[in-house]
Structures are given as structure tokens and as C-alpha cells.
Structure 1
Amino acid sequence: MSWLHHPLSRRGLLTTATGLAVAAAAPGAYAASPAGTGLPAAAQGPAGTLAAFTNPVLWQDFADIDIIRVGDTYYYSASSMHYSPGAPILRSYDLVNWEFAGHSLPSLDFGSKYDLNGGRAYVRGVWASSLAYRRSNSTFYWLGQIDFARTYLYTARSVEGPWTRHAELPQVYYDAGLLVDDDDTLYVAYGNGAISVAQLSADGRSQVRNQQVFSTPSNIGTLEGSRFYKINGRYYIFLTRPANGQYILQSTSGPFGPYTLRQVLLDLRGPVAGGGVPHQGGLVQTQNGAWFYMAFVDAYPGGRIPVLAPVSWTGDGWPQIQLSGGAWGTSYDSTLPARPVAPMTGVDTFDGATLKPKWEWNHNPDNSKWSAGGGLTLRTATVTGDLYWARNTLTHRIQGPTSTATIELDFAGMRDGDRAGLALLRDSSAWIGVRRDGGTTRLVRTDGLTMDSNWNTTGTGREVASAAISGTRVWLRAQADIRPGAPRPGTFSYSTNGTTFTGLGPAFTMGNNWQFFMGYRYAIFNYATQALGGSVRVARFELSTP
């Protein structure tokens, strides 16, 4: 989805529903396809396998969803913009419980601005992209657009990596959806308004054919966010009308059409109080034949979070979302038994030489200035008075609806002019941390870190509270309430023993504008305002929920 075409101001363009493709049903109800049609049908699994789930299935910021199944495992790819590594991949065995698996882009090696060197890449980088698996060579394919100007293909034999970047493709594929056809041919559906299909070469690294297959009617506004499927001989392009609708194109004549359009949903009430309409997601079929649609809901300040609903099919081959009370259900029955995965919350002591895939840096890091193993050591990598310019700021998505992040910080290695701590990071930010000046170390709370609509810094922060501190160790804590429509407070506290915490400064109100797209994150930072050479060590990070 492009900010150039974000439609929160576009809700009134379509005033009548056409080709409605939603079905009212009780939670857990599934429609069977008519006998003899050969069309896909959602079906319950064997007796005893049903398990209820509640939306959102994961309250973290994972937008522009592409979801696939390989064997008994599901993979979920999402946008990450200026965060590095890029394009996170989640893994699940039941569509409900998810864990981090890896990233398709090991680094954002697309120019110096991604290194915070002479420029910045906020709200650039990895937008809507596509993940596919090719059984003929047992390889995962990621295809995506960078800076709205370049398209790249990455491949790996395992989602954990290593991932290999191939040469830039000659065509820019906006909001691409990648399809591996039954005969192993690779196709890409893409575009904004004008939707096209391209056939790729056998290795996926060049283009064989390109054809526009659909032009969005003016009364709809715009369609984008392509997801490309072949289901029972028919081709489907799943498209979003940001940020309140979902449509689908169907062709019975091949990947280049002609296509017929049908509305899947428009202004559908979502399952997250205060959140938006579920949209821009993907279809996936379970091992036992059931179909589901995973979409995201705009839920700022936390970002765009995934919700799940079962899907049935009409006799003429159109998907229907199973509704509950005329809305996307807050809960449904699953067709798969729940299977545990690594939790999204808990403690990280940074005991390995590499970071776990739940971590992403704000822009590419300077890898010579950090190390892990027995804790995380951050050496100052930038001389600046602006956190938004500081390299090696390490971020973690916030767990909703409310959660707490706590770090144990050893600041013995700080030098005069250094700033280190824990932030709530977005285009309006605040932090708690340690600053050292003139040989004296103080604990401070800072507000007023802001950027404008072009992501230039407009405020580098103001101190709103402080406290004396002794020794070389402190525990810093940030608590975030990211429920949309709520007061959205972020509060900060500290401890000198790891047990008793004292609040510092007033509550910070997190912004809930959509233009930055990514939600707030917890962020660990250490930067210099005078000279490099200082360091801090984070012995422990804990993310907890009430």
C-alpha cells in the first residue's frame, strides 16, 4: 500500500455494494460446495480437532500479509519498511499460534540512506511483497519492491536462511503477488488501479510477458495489494481497496484473463474495538481442506494487526467470509488442533552471537559497534543530538493490547555526552534512560522527539523529569497501552534492584495517525553527542503482559 494512495479520505467513493461476497454464519459454520462442482470447500477436520480462537490472533504489527502453507507448516510474510533485517517471516502449525522464523532480506543494502549515512529511509524500504514456495526445486521465493522504483527477487531453501538476493528485475512490480502455477511457471500480479500480470522466466529473474488485465472502475477508487492464486483451475487476484475494502478478480481462461470482479467486503465491522476494517490479506487452505482469510486491521498506535476468519465458496467459485452478527467475528472455531510455538513474550538474555529474529534495527546497523553473547553490548555508533539519526537502535514490536518492556542496563562504559536507554519509538517518541555529562550520570525522562510528514526531525527531545543515580546498573521499564481509541498512554519507570520500580515523568500519549504506517516499538539505544568510544551492556530484556 502506498501512502500516495491511502484512502482514509476516500471512504465515500463507493456508495453501493455490488457482487457482495460475504456470508452470515454462526462462528465455526462452514458451507460445503455443491456436489459435482469441483470447487474448493471449507470442511471441518476429524472429530476432536476443533479449537476456538480469538481475534486478533496476534496483537503485533505485521501488515501487508502474504500467507502460504508448505506441508503442515504455515508461513506469514509482512512489511517492515526501514527496519533491518527486512520482510519478517512468521511460522505456525495451526494459523493461530505464531512464532518468528526469519527474514527474507538479511539487510537493506539499497543505498547509504538505509545506513543513516547522508540520508534517512523512514517509511521507505519494504512495503507489500510476496512469499511463495516452489516445490520443483524446494525453494522459497520472496519478491518485493523497494522505494517504489526497484523490484528484487530473493531465494532460500529454508525460511531461516541464508537468503540470496538476485539481480534487480527489469520491471517494477508494485504490491506484487507471486504465483507458482501447476506447471511450475512463475507469474506476478501487480499494480495500483491498473492491474497487470507478468510471466517470469524459469529462474524468475527476467520477464517473458506482461499484460494489463484489469482497470479499476472509477466508482471504486483504487485497488492494489495483489495476491495471486490458482484454485481448481481458476485464477484469482485478491485486491485491497485501502483501507476499507477487499475485492477479487476471477479468470476461467488463464492467468491473463479475462477477469471478472467481485466485492469480498466493504466497510465491514472488524473484531478489534476502535480498529479499522479487515483488509489486505491472503487466502490459505489447511491440510484438511478448510479455507481461511488472514487480513490486517488498522489499530494505531500499535500498527496493523492480523485477524483470521474462515472462508467458504459459492457454487460459481467465489470465496465468502464467514461472518458473525454481520461482522468479522471476534472468535471462531479452528479446524486444526492448537500446537505450541515459541512465545512472542518472555525474556531474552542475548546469549547467542546472533540476535533472534524478533529483533529489527532502525535502519541497517553498524555491525562493528555491537555484539551479543552473555548480553547485548552497544558501542556508540553515531555522534548526534537526534535519536532519529542514531545508528544501532534495536527495536521490538509491542505486544498488545498492553504490555511492558524491561531492560537491565549496565552503563559503566558510558562516556561524557552519551545517551542510552529505552524508548517508545515512532514519529513522535519518548524515552527513559541514562545521560552522562561532565563526569556526572543522571537518569532522565525525555519527551518531544518528533518528525514532520516528510520524516525530517522537528524535535530532538526535552527533559521532563530526572533522578539521581549511583552505581553502574539500572533497570528501565516502558509500559504501553496500544488499544486503538483508548487514551494510548506510555509510562516509564526505573529500579535500582530489579524489583521495586519508581515512575519517572508524566505519561506520554502515543500518536495514532496512520501516515507513518508502522506502529510504535520498544527501542534500545546508545548514541554519543560528543565523541565515539562509549558503550553499554543490556544484560536482559523482558516483554510481559498483564
Structure 2
Amino acid sequence: MSPPTPRPSRRGLLAGAAGLGVTAALSPWPRPHSTASAATTGVRPLADFTNPVLWQDFADIEVLRVGDTFYYSASTMHYSPGAPVLRSWNLVDWEFAGHSVPRLDFGAKYDLDGGRAYVDGIWASTLNHRASDGRFYWLGQTDFSQTHVYTATDVEATWERIATIPRAYYDAGLLFDGDTPYVAYGNTQISVAQLSPDLTSEVRDEHVFSTPSGIGTLEGARFYRINGSYYIFLTRPANGQYILKSSSPFGPYELRELLLDLPGPIQGGGVPHQGGLVDTPGGDWYYLAFVDAYPGGRVPALAPITWTSDGWPQLQLVNGAWGTTYPAPDVPAPPRATRPMTGLDTFDGSTLAPHWEWNHNPDTSRFAVDNGLTLTTATVTADLYAARNTLTRRVQGPTSTATIELDHTGMTDGDRAGLALLRDSSAYLGLVREGGTTRLAMVDDITMDSDWNTISTGTERATAAVAGTRIWLRAWADITPGAGRQAHFSYSTDGSTFTDLGPGFTLKNAWQFFMGYRFAIFHHATRALGGSVRVASFDLTTP
């Protein structure tokens, strides 16, 4: 497989990709594994893992370890809540833990109010933990104008915004050097800022490195202190990874290449890049990067790292490539089983599980979770991209199926409700309420232009009559990297026997929208507000 042509930096297009950082306390030098048995040490036996370690869209990776637990932060752009936090005990099996940004409180466009924020919002940002106060800190810039700081004592808690700094730390990586916070940031011209101890203001800012013209763009900073040296990990989008090393956070820095045009572990996917370094409790090191794998998005791949005698990281390859498989990290046994990223959600309790993210901020008065999800129309529009309260889940690769059970008793004339494949080219299977009757419709050709303006609200390809008030809608999607991948829709009146409706929908695999396809549950009005639907369940399954 030929590596993809390097794409231009997001800064030159719309947005800025990459960037994160973490403090590392243990020695980076290779250590032999213990010969003691797992039974006596509590360490599980080694086995192989397969890349990608998680086949869902989680890009611009920040990875860190607190004790025996690993955490992972990613970009979400216009989806809300933003900046998801994943948790793992072995770097291979990941679960949702929460979100660092509870709501995108960055202006009316994030509410789909007089504008839209597609491909704005949470880009490459940074997550770290400060041991002295036992707190997690998330930091990220929005709209090239401000940098926001959020904090929590537990990743599952509600995060609090503690500061908005009136400058943009582009693609930031946060390092705690003892109690002192530093931020590495920038595109091509890399800088380091020292923040106040409470992370609410800037104390010092210095330009520390200019990228050689022969390399082009470097961005996506991750910042570390390891064995007394400072490292800034940088990506060359979308085919390279470099690292800077210095004895001071403010330089001068030396540069070395970690990888360039390296074949990746996913057939049809790109070069692994733009992620972070992390150590295990036993002192082994890994690089968690993402692979461009459209139409599904950017998915994480893991590889071991060793270190040279003079303190530079080296990626461990398999036959000259990023390995499809490696021995699993040698780590303590987990405290419990990892929660699955797929499966049945019956919307128990009164809040949504952290798997869910809205397309832009929701109108909280127009939905309810009460052992089922009720969506009351929040927008009058014929445009799915302008409709508030569209609820999304990432597609599981390489193929997966989403099924919803929907009670449409409360729909009113002009309402549209259903299950979509959502991106800048979209399609759905949904219910259309007109003249007091309800029918099914499969609609595609819902498209945006390169500025994320809607240029088509869709074409109806097939219809079917609806009997009763309860229906199951299903979407199957193939997000194996490459062109021509398709999704198909079907429906059932008993939850058991499904009937296909409409032609296959060809998924768009261009990278420019950045986020991959998502399954989306929607309900909006085209005439007047007031209608409602109740979603009893959502089931995400794989073959």
C-alpha cells in the first residue's frame, strides 16, 4: 500500500489538527519483563493484540497514565459534549468515561442559532493530571481566538471551566513539571508558554523551534519531561512524526524523525501519526497514534517504543511497518471488565451514557431520558444539518449495524424522525408525517459544500406504508477504508424480520470534514414544533 500524499495543515484550511501532552515519571530505558508468574504478581499473561485497538473515530490523541489507569482524550469538533475521555487498564481495551467539555459554550453558532459550527470547536487539545492537587486539566483553543481550561477531580464528574485565556494555543500539549504548567503549541513555529499555577493566565511565552523548510509543517504538540529532558512530540500531517529534545522547557531543541511514510496496520488506511507517548507501571513505553481510515474517520493504533542510549525514542516495527499485531502490554490485572463500546442501550435512568454526543449543543428542554429517550421537535427546518437535537454514535468498524426501536405516536404533521448516516454527505431512513398519516422514506443526497453549507436537503429514493405506532429502523455501514463503501437501510414492524428499503448509499471517504460517519437519531419539524417520538432502545452490533 502506498502511503497517502501529505495533506496540508488544517491551519491553512479550516482548523488545526493535532496536539496533546503528559508528564512521565518513570525511566524510559528498556526493562526486562519479570520472570515471576502472573499468579504471584497479579500481572496478566502476555498475549497479542491487533491494530486498530479501537475501530472508532477518536483522533488527535492525548494519552496519559495515572497510577495503573490510562486515559485518552480526542477531538470532537462540533459535537457536544466535547473532548471525550476514554479509560483503559491495558492500552488495548478502552471504555467511555466522560467528557472534559460538558457543553460547547463558545457562541451561538454552537447552538445552531443564526449559524453553524461544523468543523469548528474541539480540535486537537490536551489532557493531563497534576498529582499535587489530584486534578485532571483539559486545555484547548477555539476559533483561533481563545484557549479554555477545564478541570475535574474525576473524569466521570462534571467538568468545570476555570479560565478562558485571551489567546489561542494552537494544537496545545500540556506538561506539569512538578506543579508548574507549561504548554507547547504552534504550527511550524513552535512555542512554549508557562502558565500561572492555577492555569488561569500566562506567565511567560517563548518561541523555541522553527521547522526546517524541507520538512514542511509540524504541529500537534505533546509535551513531556522524561529523565530530566524535555520532549515536544510533533506530527507532520499526515505522514510523519518528529520529536524535539532539550534540557530546558524553553530550548534550544534538537530534532529527530520518528517515522515518515511508514506503512500502517490497516489495509487502505494511512500512515499512523499524531498521537502520544505513554509508559506502563512497569516502565515499558508505547506510542498511540491514529490512522486516517475514511469513511470511518481516524482510528487509534498502538506500537511499542524503546529508547536509545542517548535518550531518543525508537518505534518498534514489524517487517519495516507499523505492526498489525504486537505482544500485549505487560500490566497489572484490571479491577473489573472494560465496558463495551458496542451493545444495547435502553436509555436507563435519567441521563445519557457518555457514548452519545449531539450534533451541536442540544436544546435541553426538548429531550428527556427516563428509561427511554423522548425527542420533542426543537427546530422547524427541512435541513437535517440545521436541526437541533440530533443524537449521534460513532460507527464501529470495519462494519456494524445500528437498530433503533421507535414509537411515533406523538409525531405531528410535517415531522421527520429516523436513523441517519451523518457526515457532509448523508442519508437516512425515517418517518414522514403528512395529512394525519405516517409513511417510511429512504432519503439520500443530503450534502454540504466545502464551507459546510447545505447544498441539498435530500432526495427521496423509496417509500413504504407504516402500520401501527412502533417501528424498528436499521442502518448497516461498511467503513473499511477506501472508496465505494456503502450503507443500507431496513425496517421491521416486529423487531425480528427486517425489510430493505431504498438503494445502497455510498459513503464519502474524503478526509476534509475530518470526523468520520456517525449513526444519528433525529426528529425535527418542517411546519411547527410540538411533536415527539420515543426511542426505546439503540443497539450497535458487529458481525
| Separation in 1, partners of 2:57, 2:9 | 17
Q: The residue matched to 1:343 in structure 2 has which SS?
A: coil
Query: What corresponds to 2:17 in structure 1?
Result: none
2:278 to 278, 281, 284: 284
Aligned length: 514
1:177 to 173, 176, 195: 173
Cα pair 2:145 2:166 within 8 Å, conserved: no
Cα distance, 1:338 vs structure 2: 6.7
2:355 to 354, 358, 371: 358
The reply on whether 1:265 has 2:272 as its aligned counterpart is no
1:494 to 488, 491, 494: 491
Moved more, 161-170 or 116-125: 161-170
Query: What corresponds to 2:534 in structure 1?
Result: 537
The reply on whether 1:82 has 2:78 as its aligned counterpart is yes
Q: Structure 1 length as normaliser, TM-score?
A: 0.93
Query: What corresponds to 2:220 in structure 1?
Result: 225
Q: Structure 2 length as normaliser, TM-score?
A: 0.93
The reply on whether 1:104 has 2:104 as its aligned counterpart is no
Query: What corresponds to 2:131 in structure 1?
Result: 135
| Separation in 2, partners of 1:497, 1:330 | 41
Query: What corresponds to 2:29 in structure 1?
Result: 40
Cα distance, 1:42 vs structure 2: 5.1
Q: The residue matched to 1:128 in structure 2 has which SS?
A: coil
Matches within 5 A, 1:467-506: 467-485=464-482, 487-506=484-503
1:405 to 402, 415, 418: 402
Q: The residue matched to 2:109 in structure 1 has which SS?
A: helix
Query: What corresponds to 2:5 in structure 1?
Result: none
Query: What corresponds to 1:198 in structure 2?
Result: 193
Q: The residue matched to 1:347 in structure 2 has which SS?
A: strand
Q: Is there any run of 5+ residues in structure 1 with no aligned partner, and where?
A: 8-37
- Are the structure 2 counterparts of residues 507 and 39 from structure 1 closer, same or farther at C-alpha, using a change threshold of 3 Å? closer
Query: What corresponds to 1:14 in structure 2?
Result: none
The reply on whether 1:240 has 2:235 as its aligned counterpart is yes
Cα distance, 1:184 vs structure 2: 1.4
1:176 maps to a residue whose letter is: A
Cα distance, 1:2 vs structure 2: 5.1
Moved more, 398-407 or 164-173: 164-173
1:230 maps to a residue whose letter is: R
1:186 to 178, 181, 185: 181
1:325 to 315, 319, 322: 319
Cα distance, 1:132 vs structure 2: 0.4
Cα pair 2:28 2:284 within 8 Å, conserved: no
Q: The residue matched to 1:126 in structure 2 has which SS?
A: coil
Query: What corresponds to 1:213 in structure 2?
Result: 208
1:489 maps to a residue whose letter is: Q
- Are the structure 2 counterparts of residues 479 and 39 from structure 1 closer, same or farther at C-alpha, using a change threshold of 3 Å? closer
Query: What corresponds to 1:443 in structure 2?
Result: 440
| Separation in 2, partners of 1:270, 1:116 | 38
| Separation in 1, partners of 2:72, 2:28 | 25
Q: The residue matched to 2:380 in structure 1 has which SS?
A: coil
Query: What corresponds to 1:310 in structure 2?
Result: 304
Cα distance, 1:487 vs structure 2: 3.0
1:527 to 520, 524, 527: 524
Cα pair 1:39 1:315 within 8 Å, conserved: no
| Separation in 2, partners of 1:47, 1:326 | 32
Cα distance, 1:166 vs structure 2: 1.9
Percent same amino acid among aligned pairs? 68
Matches within 5 A, 1:501-512: 501-512=498-509
| Separation in 2, partners of 1:206, 1:245 | 33
Q: Is there any run of 5+ residues in structure 2 with no aligned partner, and where?
A: 1-7, 15-26, 39-44
